[in-house]
Homo-oligomer: A and B are copies of this chain.
Amino acid sequence: MTTILDLARISGLSKSTVSRVLNHHPHVSQESKEKVEKAIQQIGYKRNARGVHLRKKQNQLIGLLVPTVDHPYFSQLISALSEACRQSGYETVIYQSDFQPSEERYVYDKLAQQEMDALVVTHTLLSEQEIKELVGNRIVIICNEQAPGNLFDVFSVDEEQAIFDATTHLLKQGRTRLLLCMDYEQTPLQQKRLCGFKHALKDAGITYSPDMKRNGVMTIDDGLRLGDTLFQTEDYPDGLLTGSDFVAMGLLHSARKHSVNIPTDVSIMGFDNHSIGRASIPLLTTVDYPLQTIAKDVAKALALRVHQNEMPPRRKLYKATLVIRETT
């Protein structure tokens, strides 16, 4: 491998002048520039990023913590965030926690060890305090996960309102025996959703009971299984609220298999506004949120903090909207 020292020798200039040319500094003579350019061509020089990273104490890398990439919600999020970061000059490294706190801690440790300039957290089982303790003064931004925002910037959808609206929509159609499908109940996000759900029920004068929620439902297959359990009984719910369009697709399929008519017998509400909802029969009612906008705001905040991290944490909520189609 060749270095800027080789360039210096060949061009007859010093290391520093070569560096200046490489970094397009303003005050270098045209002559020097040309000499260096020629030397670069001559020996096929390639800059060594690792030297730069050490010297500049930056590596233009953003960590992205997700539970799993193989889920339409997270793959959309990764796509948007990754693109937005790249536009701000940062590449994205993916960390999958697989819902394990131990894996999460591992990632925070990587951040503390400066494997990346900042970390975007999209799902966590730890509290802000716990995270803070692990990462110290390094940069963390929380995206679409519920958190108080006392210690870190938080950009997220108002999940409570989203589920409130969705629930209210079902209630207005006369549905009363509702079921809320969640993935991991103990996460703050799911707690918020449960809150919105209870709130809407209360407003409608319906008393909430714990069997109106279901835990561990996240994939198409989960939806299929849940539907098969539900629809083989006689007193299945008449309104199903899911946390993902894919779960809704599973439920829809199962309903049809059991000759349960959608939406006559049961209403189904998706979540995420994935394109699959435009190819389902009947077309899927779902919840949409401004993912692109969120991603851009996160990338902006990231760039800002990398440069200057002494601001107090910010918090921004985004409004979700119902996309009413045929399953409700």
Contact = CB atoms under 8 A, between A and B. Distances in A.
Contacts of A224: 278-279
A51 interface: yes
Contacts of A96: 79, 82-83, 86
Contacts of A281: 253, 256, 281
A219 B278 CA distance: 12
Interface residues of A, number: 52
Number of copies: 2
A57 B49 CA distance: 10
A106 to B, nearest CB: 10
Interface stretch (A110-118, A120-128, A158-166): A110-118
Among A59, A76, A246: residue with most chain B CB under 10 A:
A59
A115 B89 CA distance: 14
A49 B221 contact: no
A75 interface: yes
Nearest to A257: B281
A112 B278 CA distance: 43
Contacts of A79: 68-70, 96
Contact of A49 (B75, B115, B256): B115
A50 interface: yes
B91 A69 contact: no
Contacts of A252: 279
A219 B79 CA distance: 15
Given A113-B48, A249-B276, A253-B280, A69 B75 contact: yes
A54 interface: yes
Given A82-B94, A256-B281, 4 more contacts: A70-B75, A70-B76, A93-B93, A94-B94
6 contacts: A46-B112, A49-B114, A54-B54, A72-B75, A78-B94, A93-B93
